[in-house]
């Protein structure tokens, strides 16, 4: 990821919160395989274990997920580590996870109300936010082993709990109760677990950016804020607010 200083976010707490709010990530691997593509990716929702929840073995935190056993990416992983015991497999090389923010949008030069009429030296761009994570991946492959069984049970519970409550807002009380894994037949869940593998990534490096017009002149930035506000809708209003907040943070740092 290209990280110009003006767009880079260096506060780890902010980046971790970003992952919590945007659990769907893209798991990217490069594994030499006799049958699968060298580069593989899978879209998958992640559970984040914060550093204070992860212990000394993962001082920067962990990502957890589960994906289908028949996924070509999993097959490439198995091929790469076929000489290890079947309960927990570890890849030698780092993997990459990319998490995109919920809101992104094309930015028309017409929003640059200061520079466009002044010099005309403006071009379109795209505003977005993203975080990338590098880390070591462990694969919990055999659901019959105690380690994998326990991992998958916790993973399924934690993911449904997080997404039901934070994404859907099902918190009980005046809101509906969240769906729980226990609501499904036990035999059905056992069958599902046999067909997935657990993914655990110990975070080694985390980086991110908010490209939200911080580099623009104040007049142009105000034009972007008003321009997106005028678009209306959830995305327009959200990006307008993000441009305003990120612009203010940039101005404070300059002071």
Instruction: Let me know if residue 246 belongs to a domain.
Output: no
Instruction: Let me know if residue 178 belongs to a domain.
Output: yes
CATH number, domain with residue 64: 2.30.110.10
Instruction: Let me know if residue 38 belongs to a domain.
Output: yes
Express as a percent the part of the chain with pLDDT over 90: 86
User: 161: domain range?
Assistant: 8-108+125-215
Write the DSSP string, 163-216.
IIIIIS---STTSPPPP-GGGS-HHHHHHHHHTEEEEEEEEEEEEEEEESSTTS
Q: What are the residue ranges in the chain where pLDDT is below 70?
A: 54-57, 83-87
Q: What is the pLDDT of residue 52?
A: 79
Q: What is the pLDDT of residue 254?
A: 85
Rounded-to-integer distance, Cα 121 and Cα 203, Å: 42
Tell me how many domains the chain contains. 1
Instruction: Let me know if residue 195 belongs to a domain.
Output: yes
Q: What is the pLDDT of residue 148?
A: 93
* 104, 129 Cβ separation under 8 angstroms: yes
pLDDT digits (tens, 9 = 90+) for 172-230: 988 999 999 999 999 999 999 999 999 999 999 999 999 999 999 999 999 999 999 99
Instruction: Let me know if residue 226 belongs to a domain.
Output: no
Q: How many CA atoms lie within 13 A of 141 on its CB side?
A: 22
Instruction: Let me know if residue 196 belongs to a domain.
Output: yes
Q: What is the pLDDT of residue 59?
A: 82
Which is nearest to 213 in space by CA: 168, 163, 250?
250
* 62, 108 Cβ separation under 8 angstroms: no
Q: What is the pLDDT of residue 69?
A: 95
């Amino acid at each position: 990821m290209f990280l110009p200083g003006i767009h880079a976010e260096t506060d780890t707490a902010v980046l971790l919160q970003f992952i919590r709010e945007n659990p769907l990530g893209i798991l990217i691997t490069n594994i030499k395989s006799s049958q699968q593509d060298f580069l593989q990716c899978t879209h998958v929702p992640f559970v984040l274990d914060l550093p204070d929840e992860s212990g000394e073995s993962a001082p920067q935190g962990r990502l957890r997920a589960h994906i289908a056993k028949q996924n070509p990416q999993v097959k490439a992983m198995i091929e790469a580590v076929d000489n290890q015991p079947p309960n927990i497999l570890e890849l030698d090389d780092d993997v990459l996870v990319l998490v995109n923010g919920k809101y992104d949008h094309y930015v028309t030069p017409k929003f640059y109300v200061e520079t466009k009429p002044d010099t005309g030296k403006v071009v379109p761009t795209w505003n977005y936010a993203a975080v990338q994570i590098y880390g070591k991946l462990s694969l919990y492959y055999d659901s019959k082993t105690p380690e994998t069984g326990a991992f998958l049970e916790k993973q399924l519970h934690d993911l449904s709990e997080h997404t039901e409550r934070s994404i859907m807002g099902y918190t009980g009380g005046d809101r509906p109760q969240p769906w729980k894994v226990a609501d499904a037949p036990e035999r059905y869940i056992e069958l599902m677990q046999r067909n997935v593998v657990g993914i655990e990534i110990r975070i080694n490096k985390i980086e991110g950016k908010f490209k939200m017009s911080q580099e623009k002149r104040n007049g142009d930035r105000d034009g972007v804020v008003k321009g997106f506000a005028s678009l209306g809708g959830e995305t327009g209003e959200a990006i307008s607010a993000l441009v305003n907040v990120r612009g203010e943070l940039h101005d404070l740092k300059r002071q």
